[in-house]
Amino acid sequence: MKKKTKRLRQSDEYHSVLSFLVKNPNTALNYKQIGAQLDINPSDIPQILDLLVKDSKIKQVDRGKFMYVKTRDEITGVLDFNQRGIAYLMVENLDEDIKIKPGDTLDAFDGDTVHVKVAYSKGKRKAKAFVTEVVQRARTTFVGTVSKSGRHYFIIPDHNKIHTDFYVPEKKAKNANHGDKVLVRFTDWPADAKNPFAEVVEVFGPAGENTAEMHAIVAEFGFDTHFEDAVEQAAQKLPKTISQEEIAKRKDFRNTLTFTIDPEDAKDFDDALSFKRLEDGWLEIGVHIADVSHYVQTRDKIDEEALDRGTSVYLVDRTIPMLPEVLSNELCSLRPHEDSLCYAVIFKINENAEIREYEIVKTVIHSDHRYSYEQAQEGIINGKGEHAEELALMNKIAKRLRKARFNAGAINFETTEFRFKLDDKGKPLSVVPKQRFDAHKMIEEYMLLANRTVAKHVSTKAKNLAIPYRVHEEPSFEKLQEFVETAANFGYKIDTSSNHKLAHSINSMVQDLEGKLEADILQPLAIRSMEKAYYTTKKTSHFGLAFPFYTHFTSPIRRYPDLITHRYLHEYLTTGKTPNQEAIERMCKHSSEQEQKAVNAERASIKYKQIEYLQSYIGNEFEGIISGVTEWGIYVEIIENKCEGMVRIKDIPGDNYDFYPKSKKVIGQRTKNEYGMGQRVQIRIKNTNIDRRTVDFEFAE
């Protein structure tokens, strides 16, 4: 009897009966009424009802009559599933998340906002919790792979926090084939159904094919890979030439030396620098940004689509743009030897990086030269090539701006980035480090200068104007602790007594780490210990840059907050009108969320390519460095290609290992062997799972 009770408690039937009663609250029903609605063995229903009463999930309100009693004291929160199917209810101002067992989550998915009932059983210390209602879906579309058997279609989701396959009726499968990567839309989850129902929205192609996988990653994070016809048509109708009337409204820089510096393979150029020597010995340096707001008007089809996307998405092998190509690569691209419309910040500055005055103004430019970073670097270092003297002087000023920023408390987050060399089918052939030149840092410094100047101007001279400030809050002590303790294990003291001392000690560490393997452990850990930057209309400082005010002004082609900063700043400066702050704040919140999704999509594409690359090396040995230690595994980063995988603790032979969270080590019970952060190890690639984007290593010693 006990075995049957346990079986019933863990059965789909138990949860189907509970789900049915929860969806029909405060309604007294007998077992026949329940059985008539559910495809369940009628003889099991009375015992299931008795178990639900014992588990304090329902009540017997009369002889043979059962009811789920809905009350006002149900807790509302957001579900966070782990990979094993256990969910935790995250509730604001609640010290500890509420644990919910698999099967007690009703028809909720990861990220959904739900009502939860907490039930206390007699003699039990811990309360049981179960979902009673999904208040709001975090998402209704999911990416997965088709598993087809006869006329039955099941979609195995890519996301490891979705713990059920989706059933798709044949007529809603869009002729998808077995093994295809698809996007599905959730439609229903009947109380008596084991699987949720869905319909195929888009077929990407065979799983494992590069374009199919990249498009699937984009869709997984909620971005579209193409624009609707109405948006493309609206973009095509935009004027392709610049009228003399428009030029007359702007400050004309077409006879001033102007150039762009971008990656060799860049297709859009959204910023340019101008340079002029003034008669009084000062210099005029202009930061000119593509004037997207001239072409994209408030609430037109293009604007609505740009707002919805919020940002461009950068994958390993492609860009999913925020704006149609006719805008991003043509009308708003500051191409050489063409007139272009810009919004600019013009500085009067000397060689010591002292700024006498600035002007925020609409401009028309004619770019004289398009440099790659490598070409600009050649001019800076060797003094060769066109405009080398001007480049060298501008770089000298940028270095002084950079030094002043660090002296003010900015943090130097220098990390090594890698890129993949791909064949014509998108398969990775090698992983190579991205070189970061003075030319990169020079462009970055002038963009920072323009952004901070616009933010300062608005905060001091246009106080009623709501724009998206870029905010980076001070780190919390709790988040810093892991980094501080790990740095100490490597011999670096991180002083947290003040923000300035924290920045100084991190910068000293970064400088000392240059060229050392530990840099790849400590610098990313330092970044992760910081708060995430976000957009808001509330005027708050940027901790990492040590700026009292900061905004994004310099990339309206790829970031929506920059576009609305352009739009509303110009409107304010010309008419005095101010936008609705609440509306801008909603845009800020949405843009922050979209930005994080785009970052996650980029990371997913990198992880996918890393695993695809390592598939060719299963069984091979590499030297690695331990990049993380947890109770379930040891993360190792391969030194030569920066690909990361995990050695499962339970798979380490010869001993049983215990995890020590304070020292971030695992230690063998018998051998006392230790594995800790930053330790060099020899690993062998054991297995790869490209669907789950995981790599298993084993120690080769």
pLDDT in tens, 299-337: 999 999 999 999 999 999 999 999 999 999 999 999 999
Concatenated DSSP letters of 23-61 = TSTT--B-HHHHHHHS-S-GGGHHHHHHHHHHTTSSEEE
- pLDDT on residue 298: 94
What confidence tens digit (pLDDT) does each residue in 427-439 have? 999 998 888 899 9
What confidence tens digit (pLDDT) does each residue in 510-543 have? 999 888 888 888 988 899 899 999 999 997 889 9
- pLDDT on residue 361: 98
On the question of pLDDT at 1 being above 60, the answer is: no
What confidence tens digit (pLDDT) does each residue in 577-592 have? 999 999 999 999 999 9
Tokens of 100: 């919910």
- pLDDT on residue 416: 77
CATH class of residue range 618-699: mainly beta
- pLDDT on residue 120: 65
The proportion of the chain whose per-residue pLDDT surpasses 70, expressed as a percent, equals 98
CA dihedral of residues 379, 383, 385, 390 (deg, nearest 10): 70
Least confident stretch, 98-102, 285-289, 570-574: 98-102
- pLDDT on residue 186: 97
On the question of pLDDT at 103 being above 80, the answer is: yes
The alpha carbon dihedral of 188, 193, 199, 200 has a sign of positive
What confidence tens digit (pLDDT) does each residue in 2-35 have? 666 777 787 878 888 988 888 888 889 999 999 8
Which residue is associated with the tokens 């839309």? 185
Q: How much is the average pLDDT of 99-115?
A: 91
The model's confidence at residue 124, banded by pLDDT at 50, 70 and 90, is low
Least confident stretch, 90-104, 486-500, 620-634: 90-104
- pLDDT on residue 572: 96
What confidence tens digit (pLDDT) does each residue in 458-517 have? 999 988 899 999 999 999 888 898 899 889 888 999 999 998 899 999 999 999 988 888
The alpha carbon dihedral of 92, 96, 100, 102 has a sign of positive
What confidence tens digit (pLDDT) does each residue in 151-168 have? 899 999 998 899 999 999
On the question of pLDDT at 340 being above 60, the answer is: yes
Residue 97 neighbours by CB under 8 Å, 6+ apart: 80, 88, 89, 90, 91
Instruction: Give the SS3 label for residue 89.
Output: strand
- pLDDT on residue 276: 98
Task: Tell me if domain 75-136 and domain 618-699 are identical in fold.
Answer: yes
What confidence tens digit (pLDDT) does each residue in 445-464 have? 999 999 999 999 999 998 88
Residue type, 688: T
What confidence tens digit (pLDDT) does each residue in 178-198 have? 999 999 999 999 888 889 999
On the question of pLDDT at 213 being above 60, the answer is: yes
On the question of pLDDT at 627 being above 60, the answer is: yes
The model's confidence at residue 72, banded by pLDDT at 50, 70 and 90, is low
What confidence tens digit (pLDDT) does each residue in 644-696 have? 999 999 989 989 999 998 788 999 999 999 999 889 999 999 999 988 889 99
Least confident stretch, 115-129, 232-246, 259-273: 115-129
- pLDDT on residue 122: 59
On the question of pLDDT at 292 being above 70, the answer is: yes
For every residue of 139-171, which 3-state class applies, written as one string?
A: CCEEEEEEEEECCEEEEEECCCCCCCCEEECHH
Report the mean per-residue pLDDT for the chain: 92
- Which one has a higher pLDDT value, 548 or 267? 548
**Nearest to residue 184, comparing CAs of 205, 169, 171, 198?**
198
Q: Rounded to two decimals, what is the model's pTM?
A: 0.87
Instruction: Give the SS3 label for residue 575.
Output: helix
Q: How many whole angstroms separate alpha carbon 442 and alpha carbon 461?
A: 28
**Nearest to residue 207, comparing CAs of 699, 690, 696?**
690
Q: How much is the average pLDDT of 342-369?
A: 98
Q: How many whole angstroms separate alpha carbon 525 and alpha carbon 596?
A: 18
Q: How much is the average pLDDT of 258-269?
A: 90
- pLDDT on residue 463: 84
Residue 381 neighbours by CB under 8 Å, 6+ apart: 438
Q: How much is the average pLDDT of 66-86?
A: 85
Q: Where are the domains of the chain?
A: 2-67, 75-136, 141-207, 230-400, 440-606, 618-699
CATH class of residue range 141-207: mainly beta
**Nearest to residue 344, comparing CAs of 503, 487, 454?**
454
Pick the CATH number of 2-67 from 1.10.10, 1.20.1420, 1.10.1330, 3.40.50: 1.10.10
On the question of pLDDT at 128 being above 90, the answer is: no
Residue 561 neighbours by CB under 8 Å, 6+ apart: 468, 470, 535, 551, 552, 587, 588, 591
CATH class of residue range 75-136: mainly beta
- pLDDT on residue 692: 80
